[in-house]
Amino acid sequence: MSDTISFDRLLTLGQICERLGVPQHRAKYAIAQYDIRPVGRVGILRVWSEDDLPRLRIALTEIASNRGSRA
């Protein structure tokens, strides 16, 4: 079994935002708050695996629901 990840399964922050339909500042906040670490770097860009998308989607949903519950 190999520990390598295919380059076509790596996503930059911009690509993540495009796929999830959210602005970069929201994705950055979710990544920081839920400690979703990049799988590596390609040049100066941090990259995440496609496998991180569901976790990010859940984090964004939880943040949005908590935001609406503030009084």
Q: How far apart are CA 12 and CA 44, in angstroms?
A: 11
Higher per-residue confidence, 6 vs 45? 45
Which pLDDT score, from 0 to 100, does residue 29 have?
A: 97
Residue 1 has pLDDT above 60, yes or no: no
Q: Which residues of 34-70 are buried (b: 16+ CB within 10 A; e: fewer)?
A: eeeebeeeeeeeebbeeebeeebeebbeeeeeeeeee
All domains in the chain, ordered by first residue: 8-65 (1.10.1660.10)
Which pLDDT score, from 0 to 100, does residue 6 have?
A: 67
pTM for the full model? Answer: 0.81
Residue 71 has pLDDT above 60, yes or no: no
